[in-house]
Structure formats: structure tokens, C-alpha cells
Structure 1
Amino acid sequence: MPNGLAAIETAPRHFSKASNLNFLARFLTIILIGLTAASFSFAQGDAAATLAACRIHIVDDQSGWPVPLVELKTTHQVRFVSDNAGVIAIDDPSLLDREVYFSVIGHGYEIPADGFGFRGVRLTPRRGKTLIVKVQRTAIAKRVGRLTGSGLFAESQKLGEQLDWNDGPVFGCDTVQTAVHRGKLFWAWGDTKLASYPLGVFDMTSGTTSLDPFESLQPPLKPKFDLFLDERGRPKGVAPIPGDGPTWLTGYVSLPDKNGDEHLVAFYRKIKGHLQTYEAGLCEWNESNSEFEIVRTVWKASDGTPPPSLAEEGHPVFWTDAAGTRWLLFGNPLPRIQIAGTYEAWKDFENWKTLTPQKTLRSADDGSEIVPHSGSLAWNAFRTRWVTVFMQKFGKPSAFGTLWYAEADSPMGPWGDAVEILSHDNYTFYNPRLHPELTPAGNHVLLFEGTYTAEFANHAAPTPYYDYNQILYRLDLDDPALQPAQHSVTTSKP
């Protein structure tokens, strides 16, 4: 017997008629509340089923790989961007169960133009359905995915996929530095955005991974960093060099001393105003507090002297010359500085040697002169040559978003013809960093990353999630499209 009826049956016989009516009224109220709650629960379930999203999967039409960072935009400017799994979730009721035209914007991936020059697709999104959009890769470089920031799988998770993925506590970060140090890969990033306030961390953030951090060299990319955090669980500034303004590190490298001990070191700059350096020097990683500390200051604006030409940013690379001497070179992209590859030589700033890099490279396409702006180089065992990926200064269609690949017999050059490998539609992609340490020696895959940002573009609309973050690409060095850069075989050694 239901509990409410049992209560009525066992009610005392001497209750008054009014009491019995009040008791019955309370009981009916309880029943009504229960029925209402149950109805609301069922209604919620029905609403959830009604509003289920449509799954759009963006894939490369040749490889079938998912393609991150492809934007679908409606005729009334509603934007959707594919996540690291190439997925977009469409749950806007006004777009479901009707034919919708989406423009496709892919930075190196596209849809063939129609008779009016529009590049897009007509789709009819339906609840619980999957629609495939195949895009053609026009760039030589293949996009693997986003390395930093939040929402790497935001679209997939709306659909109940990739639920084991948890984003780190970072929304965006600038230029990367990497170094292999004491059996780990150390990563450091410039100005870093957090969720809690528009001003984030401006004295570098950092984390580590294993030397083999990725499950695969193709998408979906799942980067997991062991970040250095403060007492509140937020990414900590690891270069708290005294003074106003941001601290930027460059020349990030691990060097052995005369006893064989490893030292993680960098060149620091203190910044004020708009990219103006007012102090520069050498700093070293303190293993006990996980912070960089000053080794020596080599220049201050207050001294009244111009900054030394050696105080320039650059990525490090080791090079053994024909005589068997091991050197450390710094370049951005081509070598500007040469020192012996030891900790003691690094500290001896007065004896750093200045180099004069090649000012331009020739385009393999039309012979025009290409001015490198930023990038890095590495020895490549597959090509048995030195290779570089660099961003062009004042390229097209984006002034700072076009990247090139070139090869040389020696890191000192001369560098052969350059091949364009990636470009962006009115968007910036600067400071590309090669990652030869992430692929086995002799592997045909060359990985690089760079900073994707609307800064320095022509009033570009920032891409949600992706803006001001690091994106990883790969080059397949056996791709016939790179042959114009691949001239004579050499015997140079790293």
C-alpha cells in the first residue's frame, strides 16, 4: 500500500472532520509536487534529446586525417571552429534541420571555389547525426594540432567524446623555448593568459614532458605538460627577474660544465613600453625553486650605451666543424652568435663571437628575394643536411604569416632555394621553432610549431580558443613538393 494511503488508514478515529480535510489536503499537495517533479524530469530528458548537437567532422580529403582549426561561418556570421579532433558541434536550434551554407576558412586547407568564387559547403545539420566535410590541403605543411590553451577538445566534449581529456590552466601563451635537460624536455613560454583576469603571467611560464611526449605524430594531438605551478595551483612565473615589465627568455639551452654537470641557461631581456628592451643578461635555472636567476647583467639602458649586438634573441643549435670542435650557435633563424658548447664559454660573454647571417634567400618558385624574420634551424639526418623553417618578413597574403623551408651544407650557409610551406589568410604565425628532438633520428617527419595570433594582422578577427597559442605542424621531407629545396647531397655533420 502506498505510504500516503497507509497514513490515512492509520489516522486516529477521534480526528475532527476539519482535521481530516486538512490532512487530506496536505497529502494531495505532496502527491502533486511529486508528479510535477517527475514531469519536469521527463521534460528535461526530452529537451536534452531534442537539442542534441549535429557532429561535423572536418577531414583531409587525401589522408582522411582530422583537420583542426577549420572555420565554418554562416551567412549571418555565426562561426564554428574545429577542435584538435577536427570536430565541430552544431547545437544552434536555428541551424538544425534546414539547409545552411557555411563558408570554409582553413589556413592551408580549402574547398574548391564555386562559379561565384565562394568556397563553402551546403549542409543540413540534424540532431545526433555526423556530417563529413572533406577539405583539400593547399599547404605543404600538415597541421597536427594546438599545443597550448584551453578547449583543445571543446567541440568533441559537447558530443560526449574525448571526456578523459582535461585542459591545463592556461588560456594562451606566446613564443616557445625548448631544451633537453636532465632526461626531460623543458618547455618555456612567453606572456601567458589565464582565465581569472585579462593580465596574466609576464615573466615566462614553463613545464616539462618526457622526451617522447606525443602518442602520435598525426592528429588528434594530445599534449600533456607537467607545469610549474604556484601555491594557488596557477602557472607560476619562472623568470622573476627584478624590474618593471615582462621578462623574456631566449637562447634556452642545457650546457655541460667542465665536470660534466648540466646547466639550463638562457638569455634574458627586460621589456618596457612596446617591445623596448631596457636590460639584458644571462640567467640560469635553479633546480631547488624552479626559477631562473641572474648570472650576470650584460647591459642596461641606464648605462647610456647602445645594447650590444650579441644581445639578440635566437634559438640554439650545436654544430661540430670540420676540425671536430663542437660549437653552440644562436640564430633566428640563421646563426648570429658562435661560442664553444660549454657552460664556462657561455658565461664568458665578452668572448662571444658575432656572425653575419645570409640576409635573404631566393624563392624556388619565382626567384624573388625572401627576407627571413624569425625561425630556427637543425641538422636533419634524413636529408643529411641542415634545414630551416622561417617566417618571411612582409610576406603575402599575411605580412607575418608565411613560412618557408630551405636547406644548406652548413649552418653557416649558403642556403639554397626556399620553398613556401605554409601561409595564413590575414593572420600572424611567428617565431617558428623546429623540434628535431621529437622524432627518431633518420625519420622523414620534421615537426615545428609557432605562435598563432591576430596581432600584426590587418584587423583580423581573433579565432576563439586558438588565438595567441602554439600550433604544431609537420613536414614530410620525402614530399615531392620540397624537391626544389633539395639540391646537392653533402657530408656535413651536426
Structure 2
Amino acid sequence: MTTSWIRAGAAWLAILAAASAPAEESASPSKPFRIVVVDEQTGRGVPLVELRTVNQILYVTDSNGVVAFDEPGLIGRRVFFAIKSHGYESPKDGFGIVGAALDTSPGGEARLKIKRLNVAERLYRVTGAGIYRDSLLTGVPAPTREPLLDGLVLGQDSVLSAVYRGKIHWFWGDTNQPAYPLGNFHTPGAVSDLPGKGGLDPSRGVDLIYFVDEKGFAKPTSKMPGEGPTWITGLAVLTDDQGRERMFANYAKIKPPMTTYELGAVEWDPAKNEFVKRAVYSGPPETSTGETLSGHTFQHRDGDRDYVYYCNPFPLTRVPADPASIIDEKAVEVFTCLEAGTRIDQEKLDRDDEGRLRYSWKKATQRLDQRGQDRLVKAGKLKAEEALLQLRDATTGKRVLAHGGSAAWNAYRRRWVLLFVEIGGTSMLGEMWFSEADTPLGPWVHARKIATHDTYSFYNPKQHAMFDQDGGRVVYFEGTYTASFSGAKEQTPRYEYNQMMYRLDLSDARLSLPAAVYEVDPMLATGGLATGPALAHGARGKAIAFFAPDRPGTAEIGVVEVADDRGGKTLALADPAVAGPALRFCILRPESRLAETTPIYEYSREGSTQRTFSIDPDRAIEGWRRSPQPVGRVWKNPGPTQVW
């Protein structure tokens, strides 16, 4: 009897122990189910794709496009995932539902294809925690040295970068940490090796090495005295008279609510890995010349002198490229039509005796941006067609208001390329655009949207010219992905307030924008027309006849340079797909009615094979006849006829 009770008690204990023990396969699977979301065009994993279950469990792909799914009670079953991603789409089913049902299993895998609508391709997250979290959980290798938590950084605002002493130096704004909601507000920094010199291919990632404090957190590199954060901008590397590289920036001191109370210049101290103060700019910040020294920079030679240009986002501010000038607020010049020494609110424009507007570089004068132009137009001081900045959507003609961005010379396009974020688009600061011009000063007219962020911000984008590939055909840019200013009701886990990298293939036909076509020969001996690249940087001072793409795209008719019957050169119509290097520009078909286009006519010289083209139907040139009907359509010039 006693033995029976003992045996019965042991059996009950075994049952209770089994009931209380974790069910390894059903409740806590040993291996997650791997979901990989890839770009159907490239086969590459797509980061920042949201997968949401029917009961609203949200997963977001990491920088390899991977999700590690391990939800107890769901894994091992067929699970439906709704799919959503900025600038990408998945097909809808018969009920209009977007997503896919997957048979999940521990250690299994599924691949989903997603269609890219963006022209630019999203590559990876540069900063923050868990960049390759899901990859590592499912056994997928990560390309970077610190794939989970580098420098104890959870989030970082607004990147700056420059190549200094053989390494890329990176700096950011306010930075979050795991230990407390308040982090580093005085410019953390890092370095990385250049591609081909120890650094990763930029298509794979960036291996950052942060400057850290004793706790391993990214330390301040620009903590200037005074209340509030220290932000820097206008990062530039110069060479002094002794041949030494020196790195400079401009700083701002900020106090609540978001007030700038001091501006100045700083220089990098390589022994301390921090910036030291070099100058404090005079006057209130809102009227200081130093307030124009913001944005990303590039260097360019104008005449017999090199200058540092500041993109705001247009490069209309500059200083001589030497260490003494870059910290001297009196050396700052802006390209403007305002009278020298004045501000926009004074509404004084620089006109000659005949009333013609004069643009030029001036000191101690306020920068005139798109909003400033609008103000002067509304006041009746400036005609709309006199405005220097005429940015618009190349397809619709809709005006585009640029915010932050950066410009760089591009060898592939043989033009200056501007990548910028729009303010007030379909999202407040989330729409990325591409534009190009023959000179740093323009003409900045046509643009194409290249990436969208629905109800989310992507501000202060930076083009990384040191990452250009294939002669500039492929370019890279990044920006700050954040819910700030966007009205977003949810913040994206791990991605919020971090830097996102994109790449852009400049051979994409969608980037065939109308470019300036110039009057170069009033006697029409060579057809009289040329585009910026054909002029070999000689656009300055030429009159703009009209705008037309200089490469195939939406325009289907080519204008090529051919030999004429007099031993010279002339222009003729041709198929742009086979025109090769003889192609000068392209035109739309005559029946096209794309916004802001106008008919273009062929003019032929009597008794000769010489031809030219003009949008003037009444052009009177002795010995030349106009075609009875337009041969196509091109874009009208909405702004000044001259390029500076």
C-alpha cells in the first residue's frame, strides 16, 4: 500500500514537471523562421520593409532585408504578413489586400520579391543599433565590423563627411544612447577607411570607428562653451601654405526652444580628435554673415582662385579656399541680385540704368533662396522670369521647393548634380529629388523625384562623392530618417532617427532631364546650338535657347551633329538610340503635350544641307526656310536667358 502511494505520487510529480517545463518547439523555437525581402529588379535584400501579422505584430527587415520570425504560437503555422515599404510595392490580391501568407517553421526560410518604385535604391542603415540583428539571429553574415551596437549609438541626426588625411571623417548631430533618454548633443564623430584602401565597398556598408569616451559611448568632438548643444555644419578640408591638410567647420550654439545665439568657426585638432574654436562671428545670428555658412560643401575654381561653396541646398555662398579666409566672416560672398550690403526685407535689387537685373558675387549681403525670390515677386520687385532658381518637376511642371541637399561635379553626366529633399511635398521633408546644371550657379530648372518616404522625414541628405563608382555613373547619398516634422503616428523601431544609405544609377532613363541648349553660333554655321557638355564647361555667358534632354529617355527624336555639303558641321534629325556621340539633344514628338513644352521647328538653308532648329516660328534669317509644321516639342526656358 505504501509502495503504491509512493509510485502514484512520483507519477503525479512527473506529470506536474512536464506541464511546467517549456515546450521547446511550440512555445520557444530554437531557430527563428527567416524571411528575406528582395528587390525584384536586383535580387538584393531591401531594408526598412514592414511585415505585419493579422494581430498587428510588426517586424521590420534589417539591412540585409531579413526578418527573424519566432513568435510563439504562430511559428510552425501558415501566417499572413501585410507588406509595406517607402517607395516599394507588392501586388494586391482579389480583396485589395497587400501581403503574403507563408508556411513558417523553425529554421526555415521564405523569400519575397518587392517592386521598387523609387529610382534610387535603398541599401542599408548606417547608424544605430541592430543594423543586422535579424540576419545574425538567422545565421546570415553581416558585412560590418560592429553589426549590432557601435559606439553605444541608438540614433544620430544629420551627417557630415569629409576625406581628411587619408580617412573619411564622419560627424553627426544629436545622438541617442541606451543608458538614458538624453545623449550626446555636441557632435560625435567617427572615421572609416576609403573603399579600395581598407574600407568596404559602399554598396555593402560603412565600417565606422567612433571616437568614444571611457564608457564606450560616442564622445563629443565639438563642445563649445555656453548653454545648449553645439551643432556644426560646412565641413571642409583645405591645404595650407606648408602643404598640411586642415579641416574646418562652422558651429552654432543652440538654446531652448530652438534658438541660435552664437555662430563661429572651428578647426579639427588631430591630436585630441576634437574641434577647437577659431572665430566667433559678430552681430546677432539672424543677421550675421556667418548664418549663410551652412550646408554641405565642395571646392571649385572660379577664374584664378579656388573657393569653398556651401550648399543650402544651392551653392550660392562661398569663401576663398584658404585657412585664413574660411574663418573670416568678411570673406563670405553670396551670389545674388540684391544690392550689395542689403537684406531681403529691404527689397533693394541691383539693376542697371535700363532696369536689367544684375546677379553677381557680393559680400556682406543676405543669401536669396527660393522663398526669398517668392517674397520679392509678391512685392512686385522681381519678375517671376527674372528669378535665378526655377526648380520644377520635369514631368508636370509643378514647382519644387528645395530644402537641404548637396551638389557635386559628376564626371559621368559632365554636369553638377544636386540631390536634395523637398519641403512640403507628399511628406513634409521626405521626398528626394535629382537635378543637374552646367555650372554651380545653374541653370537649376528641372528635377526628378528619386525616392519617397510616406509621412516620414528624410532630411539633410548628403551626397558622398568619394563613393562614386564607374566614373560617376553610380552615386551614393544618405539622409536622416525620422518621424520628426512628418506627422507620423508611429516611429519605425530601430530605424527611427538614424542615417539611411541609398545609391542612384545616373544611367537610368528616368533621369533624362531637359537641359539647357545654348545659342553658340549666331551665323548658324554649325547649326548654332549646343548643350553644356558639348561646350566643355563653356556655358557661362551663353544665351539659353530652350531646354531639351541630351540623352534618350522620354524624348524619342534625336538631333545629331553631321557633316554638311560645305565641309562643315550641321544638325539633323535621327533616331537617338543609334546616334552615339553625335547626339546633341532629344525632342518630344510633335503630338506630345507635356507641361511647359513648346513647338520646335526645323530651319533649312536654301541650296544646302545645313539645318538648325528654333522655337521661334517667325525667325527671319535671309536664305533660311522654316518647316511648315513643328518637328517636335521642347521645354521653354522659364528663367533668365544668360548663364553666369
TM-score between both structures, scaled by the size of structure 2: 0.66
Against the structure 1 CA distance between its residues 485 and 191, is the aligned structure 2 distance closer, same or farther, given a 3 Å change threshold? farther
Per-residue Cα deviation, 1:193-215 (whole angstroms, up to 9, x for no partner):
11111000000000111122753
State the alpha-carbon separation in 1 of the partners of residues 515 and 114 from structure 2.
28
State the alpha-carbon separation in 2 of the partners of residues 76 and 47 from structure 1.
19
Per-residue Cα deviation, 1:209-230 (whole angstroms, up to 9, x for no partner):
1122753343xx3321111111
Per-residue Cα deviation, 1:399-445 (whole angstroms, up to 9, x for no partner):
11001100000011111310000111111000110001112471310
In the TM superposition, 1:243-282 aligns within 5 A as: 243-282=226-265
Against the structure 1 CA distance between its residues 309 and 228, is the aligned structure 2 distance closer, same or farther, given a 3 Å change threshold? same
Residues 333 and 372 of structure 1 are in contact (CA less than 8 Å); yes or no, is this contact kept in structure 2? yes
State the alpha-carbon separation in 2 of the partners of residues 97 and 47 from structure 1.
8
Q: Does 1:189 align with 2:172?
A: yes
Q: Does 1:319 align with 2:306?
A: no
% identical equivalent positions: 37
Residues 289 and 329 of structure 2 are in contact (CA less than 8 Å); yes or no, is this contact kept in structure 1? no
Letter of the aligned partner of 1:167 in structure 2?
A: L
Per-residue Cα deviation, 1:151-194 (whole angstroms, up to 9, x for no partner):
01111111233377453021110000111111111100000011
1:68 deviates by 0.8
Q: Does 1:413 align with 2:398?
A: no
Secondary structure of the 1:224 match is coil
Partner of 2:406: 376
Per-residue Cα deviation, 1:293-338 (whole angstroms, up to 9, x for no partner):
111110464xxx74314413211111123x3432211112111311
Per-residue Cα deviation, 1:215-257 (whole angstroms, up to 9, x for no partner):
3343xx3321111111222211000100111111000111122
Residues 389 and 445 of structure 2 are in contact (CA less than 8 Å); yes or no, is this contact kept in structure 1? no
State the alpha-carbon separation in 2 of the partners of residues 46 and 96 from structure 1.
9
Residues 320 and 326 of structure 1 are in contact (CA less than 8 Å); yes or no, is this contact kept in structure 2? yes
1:69 deviates by 0.8
Secondary structure of the 2:537 match is coil
Q: Does 1:392 align with 2:416?
A: no
1:149 deviates by 0.6
State the alpha-carbon separation in 2 of the partners of residues 217 and 223 from structure 1.
6
1:215 corresponds to which of 178, 191, 200: 200
Partner of 2:54: 75
Q: Does 1:177 align with 2:222?
A: no
Partner of 2:275: 292
In the TM superposition, 1:311-460 aligns within 5 A as: 311-312=291-292, 313-321=294-302, 323-356=303-336, 358-396=388-426, 398-440=427-469, 442-460=471-489
Secondary structure of the 2:160 match is strand
Residues 405 and 485 of structure 1 are in contact (CA less than 8 Å); yes or no, is this contact kept in structure 2? no
State the alpha-carbon separation in 1 of the partners of residues 423 and 510 from structure 2.
23
Letter of the aligned partner of 2:317 in structure 1?
A: I
Which stretch shifts more, 242-251 or 51-60? Answer: 51-60
Partner of 1:167: 149
State the alpha-carbon separation in 2 of the partners of residues 230 and 458 from structure 1.
35
Against the structure 1 CA distance between its residues 274 and 119, is the aligned structure 2 distance closer, same or farther, given a 3 Å change threshold? farther
Residues 410 and 417 of structure 2 are in contact (CA less than 8 Å); yes or no, is this contact kept in structure 1? yes
Residues 89 and 117 of structure 2 are in contact (CA less than 8 Å); yes or no, is this contact kept in structure 1? yes
1:349 deviates by 1.6
1:284 deviates by 0.8
Secondary structure of the 1:157 match is helix
1:484 deviates by 2.4
Higher relative contact order (CA 8 A, sep 6+): 1
Partner of 1:28: none
1:134 corresponds to which of 94, 97, 113: 113
State the alpha-carbon separation in 2 of the partners of residues 139 and 380 from structure 1.
21
Against the structure 1 CA distance between its residues 443 and 190, is the aligned structure 2 distance closer, same or farther, given a 3 Å change threshold? same
State the alpha-carbon separation in 2 of the partners of residues 172 and 100 from structure 1.
32
Against the structure 1 CA distance between its residues 238 and 155, is the aligned structure 2 distance closer, same or farther, given a 3 Å change threshold? same
Partner of 2:11: none
Secondary structure of the 1:59 match is strand
Against the structure 1 CA distance between its residues 128 and 48, is the aligned structure 2 distance closer, same or farther, given a 3 Å change threshold? farther
State the alpha-carbon separation in 1 of the partners of residues 265 and 299 from structure 2.
19
State the alpha-carbon separation in 2 of the partners of residues 93 and 78 from structure 1.
12
1:369 deviates by 0.8
RMSD: 2.5
Partner of 1:225: 208
Residues 53 and 128 of structure 1 are in contact (CA less than 8 Å); yes or no, is this contact kept in structure 2? yes
Residues 389 and 443 of structure 2 are in contact (CA less than 8 Å); yes or no, is this contact kept in structure 1? no
Which stretch shifts more, 131-140 or 335-344? Answer: 335-344
Against the structure 1 CA distance between its residues 198 and 390, is the aligned structure 2 distance closer, same or farther, given a 3 Å change threshold? same
Against the structure 1 CA distance between its residues 309 and 120, is the aligned structure 2 distance closer, same or farther, given a 3 Å change threshold? farther
Against the structure 1 CA distance between its residues 49 and 72, is the aligned structure 2 distance closer, same or farther, given a 3 Å change threshold? closer
Against the structure 1 CA distance between its residues 45 and 306, is the aligned structure 2 distance closer, same or farther, given a 3 Å change threshold? closer
1:51 deviates by 4.4
State the alpha-carbon separation in 2 of the partners of residues 80 and 167 from structure 1.
19
Letter of the aligned partner of 2:307 in structure 1?
A: W
State the alpha-carbon separation in 1 of the partners of residues 454 and 29 from structure 2.
37
Secondary structure of the 1:388 match is strand
1:279 deviates by 0.6
Q: Extract unaligned runs of 5+ from structure 2.
A: 1-13, 337-368, 370-387, 517-530, 539-644
Partner of 1:476: 505
Letter of the aligned partner of 1:378 in structure 2?
A: A
In the TM superposition, 1:29-178 aligns within 5 A as: 50-162=29-141, 165-168=147-150, 169-178=152-161
Against the structure 1 CA distance between its residues 48 and 306, is the aligned structure 2 distance closer, same or farther, given a 3 Å change threshold? closer
State the alpha-carbon separation in 1 of the partners of residues 77 and 443 from structure 2.
58
